Amino acid sequence: MFFFLFFGVAECFLLAAMSLDRYFAICYPLHYTIIMSSRVCRSLVAGSYICGTAVALVHSLTMFSSPLCGSTIDHFFCEIQPFLDLHCGNTFLREIQVIVVAVFAILSPFLLIIYSYIRIIATILHMASAESRQKAFSTCSSHLLVVALFYGTASSMYLQPKYSYCASVDKFLSLSYSVVTPLLNPIIYSLRSKEVKGALKKKWRKTNFVWK
């Protein structure tokens, strides 16, 4: 549970840090190297992992401090909501804790991402040439797709009350953001590379030639 929460929360804040990077690159291009120095980048990464550690420790310690009335979790890993079902007695305070932490760890970075992209879109729309607008949009497209995949499933998991919990839906959403999204990340980000696009086109032409 600790490592799952640690990497999940760190991912939320890293995505927010990446949106800030794109915000400064597009909105303040002449000051970008000064604002996003290597020291600032290291601080953003370190802050993301510190937040991940703090949230994972709080959740792990509090979740395992209460007595359990069972030993089998109806899930393929130690997820919070199925683990709450094993707790004896009233779990209302634990559910409030999950929602409060989710607001901090999921909603806060997401709002920062939304704000960054509102400013980015406003800047792009004021650009003079269509080529500049297209280049700016292509810079953000891969990050936006990853944000939509990750936050779409994670927020629907942790920002819902317990009474709306469904085990089968929960397993599907958990699989989406814990397995599918990380597997797609390298593909999504690498498709922006000209070398990768060129290699794929070359492979596609060879395949068509073989079939013909």
pLDDT of residue 170: 75
Across 67-104, b (16+ Cβ under 10 Å) vs e yields: eeeeeeeebeeebbbbbbbbeeeebeebbebbeebbee
Q: What is the distance between the alpha carbons of residues 49 and 51, in angstroms, rounded to a whole number?
A: 5
Residue 124 has pLDDT above 60, yes or no: yes
pLDDT at 209 over 60: no
pLDDT at 211 over 60: no
**Entry pTM:** 0.80
How confident is the model at residue 37, as a pLDDT? 92
Measure the CA–CA gap between 99 and 106, rounded to whole angstroms.
10
Mean pLDDT of 146-156: 79
Q: Give the range among 26-35, 84-93, 160-169 with minimum mean pLDDT.
A: 160-169
Give 30's DSSP letter: G
Query: What does the mean pLDDT of the chain come to?
Result: 81
Residue 40 CB: number of other CB atoms within 10 A? 15
71: helix, strand or coil: coil
